[in-house]
Amino acid sequence: MLRIEPIPAFEDNYIWLLADAGRRDDRVAVVDPGDAEPVIERLRADGCTLSAILLTHHHGDHQGGVAELLACWPDAQVAAPADERIRHATMRVGEGDRVAAPGLDVAFQVLSVPGHTATHIAYLADGALFCGDTLFAGGCGRVFDGSFEQLAASLRRIAALPPETLCYCAHEYTLANLGFAQWVEPDNRDLLARIAVAQHLRERGEPTVPSPLSLERTTNPFLRTTEPAVVAAAEAFAGSDLADETAVFTALRRWKDERYD
């Protein structure tokens, strides 16, 4: 079993610390360490050794701390997608691969989830999905060097995972995402309830993530592209009928890009 805790970084990033739930081993792993300093501080305070780094994509706020971490723990393995923009990788992984982090009694299944970037991957283990910037609580990532079609397909793939899957995204964007979701579905009672809970958590300085996939399915418009209310809202923005789920997704993402963010 995994013990998973957030290490806050920058203004709104989460670096995920992964350890054996029984603390039978002092070796730990981290996901997407954009900043080394908070990781070093935490591991030294806990008396832990970094054995593995899991990277989801090449953006600097996800891989920027790797070199400094390897200077402290040179034996740590670094799993990353096959992308020349990511340096220091000791293993290049992709769809269907499995990653075993020393000291953790689980193996991570690698999922290809492009769209935010062309080579974005996610890691799945023990009912936890480390999805980087593909799926956010209440939202999804922007499209950079991937495509809208890729991201729409990646989100459909994530939505098909078991509903109890916990989604560990990399940013505290939840309230802003839910604000846009309320534009799309102002009468969604599940969404209104989620907003109230998220506001309460943030007022107490607590993270709003992880979130169960079941909650994302009922409140995240980017996973609800067949719902009549979502389709109608996307078509109103687009000013025309939309042919399929991908077209609905693309309209929603462009709407958020142009009018909300």
- The residues that are catalytic are 57, 59, 61-62, 116, 133, 171
Cβ proximity of 65 and 43 under 8 Å = no
8 A C-beta contact, residue 4 and residue 18: yes
23 φ, ψ to 5°?
Answer: 50, 40
Of 37, 85, 29, give the one whose Cα is nearest residue 54.
29
Q: Residue 46, exposed/middle/buried by CB under 10 A (0-12, 13-18, 19+)?
A: middle
Residues 6 or more apart whose CB falls under 8 angstroms from that of 118 comprise 145, 146, 147, 150
Q: Coil, strand or helix: which one is 107? A: strand
Cβ count near 121 (within 10 Å) = 27
DSSP characters over 27-86 = EEEEE--S-HHHHHHHHHHHT-EEEEEE-----HHHHTTHHHHHHH-TT-EEEEES-TT-
